[in-house]
Amino acid sequence: MGRASSFGGSPAGALPPSLLVCSNAIELVDVRTWLTLAALHPFALTSFRRYFDDCGGMSAIEERPLIYASNASMTFTPEDVPVYNSIASYDTLRKTLEDKLREYNESNAVMELVLFQQAMEHITRIARIIDLPRGNAMLVGVGGSGKQSLARLASYICGYEVYQISVSSTYGINDFKENLLGLYRKAGMKGTPITFLMTDNQIVKEGFLVYINDLLSTGYIADLFTPEDKEAFCNAVRNEVKASGQIDTVENCWDFFIDKVGAVGCKRVPHACGRLTAAGVWHMPVGVSGPLRR
């Protein structure tokens, strides 16, 4: 996976000091953008000094690591809820991730990951994305660079089950729709947090993109549900609708179900996490989803 803190292929150490603070926020920057930032360097430096002195000055702004996380921060509220906080050092982050990787390997297929600095940074980014409401991500990099493995570990850290389709020579639209229905059943009816991990090689039919687009944008896929499916889903959330203070009409139950699966704030639905190799970039971007809420 590409290094986020590099501009146009230049190492982060080659950046002007005042621009280093931007490196964690900018994933990919082309040469023209890098030249523009370089030209603005004196202005940026003046602005940083003027408005960020109360943060401890430039030394505090440029301090590394510049990483924030919740599940990997190892700080919790009295209710044992992870707190979104800064990571004190790479050594602290490495120990946390190694412990999580050890736990993952005890109950899943073993992943032999080398947690070097860039890999750790990517794990925290993926975890931060899918831990947000409707948090979906597209991971871009050369084949074999560890995109799936990092997404799996990040999902495990967030407490999500990873789901992938199994493509065969006869796999088609109907098979894909059935797999998506299974995701909705687990996320909406059973409340299982799921990360839907999909690669570009699994898009064997262009029609898949239509369903993925609906999945990521609204959570509602128009021709996916039969009347029987809708009735079953509505009945599954009827008590929850009543508990929320709403009248359990069909419309309210259906809206509640879709919100539960794909709306902001719902952690029980599938998130999407897409993986893309540099050699096979799609014209229509697809991403990785975790529980749909995300």
Instruction: Name the average pLDDT for the chain.
Output: 74
Do 272 and 290 meet the contact criterion of CB atoms below 8 Å apart? yes
Distances (CA, A) of 73 to 76, 92, 99: 8, 9, 13
DSSP-assigned letters across all residues of 172-183: -HHHHHHHHHHH
Amino acid at the residue 147 = K
Residue 102 tokens read as: 């050890």
Give the gyration radius of the chain's Cα atoms: 21
Distances (CA, A) of 200 to 68, 186, 196: 29, 24, 13
Determine if the pTM surpasses 0.75. no
Question: How far is residue 238's CA from residue 254's CA, in Å, rounded to a whole number?
Answer: 9
Do 30 and 8 meet the contact criterion of CB atoms below 8 Å apart? yes
Is pLDDT of 25 > 50?
Answer: no
Distances (CA, A) of 122 to 117, 137, 159, 187: 9, 12, 17, 26
Q: What is the structure's pLDDT at 48?
A: 63
* Domains identified in the chain and CATH numbers: 1-64 (no CATH), 117-289 (3.40.50.300)
pLDDT in tens, 181-197: 998 888 888 888 888 88
Q: What is the structure's pLDDT at 188?
A: 83
When mean pLDDT is compared across 104-108, 248-252, 286-290, the lowest value belongs to 286-290
pLDDT in tens, 77-125: 777 677 788 888 888 889 989 999 999 999 999 999 999 999 999 999 8
Distances (CA, A) of 253 to 37, 212, 227, 246: 50, 24, 14, 9
Is pLDDT of 2 > 70?
Answer: no
